[in-house]
Amino acid sequence: MPYRLAIFDFDGTLADSLPWFTSVLNEVALRFGFRTVTPDEIQMLRAKGNREIVRYLGVPAWKLPLIASHMRRLAKDAAGDLRLFPGVEDLLLELCERGVKVAIVSSNGEAAMRQVLGARAWAGLAHVEAGAAMFGKAPRLTRAARRLGVPVSEALAVGDETRDIEAARQAGIAAAAVSWGYATREALAAAEPDHLVDGHAELLMLLRP
């Protein structure tokens, strides 16, 4: 069945924010009292699931919302230096021209995402869910599909981390994992997404209204 709705993650999927994230990680670690890491450790962690990463860093669960809020503020300040992956603007505009509804569900803030995406790409979005998610990402994916009038069976959640795959599965939405973001291709394959894609052309093949 063709997908009529594409629900994108932002960081690591649309925006090339991994270099920025790794540049601030140890500063955040010192601020919130969890383990600092070397570049080699960062590469190792990219091959792990999100729960394994949190355990390795020694982050207590109660600190996660505080850390996420702080990271959103840092991302907002750094938005002028962040860039979309090459071809992302063309991808989003092409989907809109095809009649595919495009949404973003992200823990990042709306102001930062709007600045990085630019006016043309932002104007084409049908729905945006930004900021903290009290009950996780899955309900937000479901809500996006419902508000846009698209059955979950005709929606595709596109992300770059194993938790994106898990959230899509919980929401009853097909998951497309992109190999150019935070998690390695091997880690994504182990999480068994419905689709594992290596380029925008593959996404366009999936998203045919």
**Catalytic site positions:** 9
**Cβ-contact 144, 105 below 8 angstroms:** yes
**What are the two backbone dihedrals, phi and then psi, of residue 10, each rounded to the nearest 5 degrees?**
-105, -65
CA distances from 109 to 135, 197, 201, 208 (A): 17, 26, 28, 29
- Looking at this protein, which amino acid is placed at residue 126? A
**DSSP state for residue 85 in the 8-state scheme:** P
**Cβ-contact 173, 194 below 8 angstroms:** no
CA dist., res. 180 & res. 90, Å (int)? 17
Residue written as token pair 């596109």:
158
101 beta partners: 5
**DSSP state for residue 161 in the 8-state scheme:** S
CA dist., res. 95 & res. 103, Å (int)? 11
Closest CA to 59 of 27, 43, 36: 36
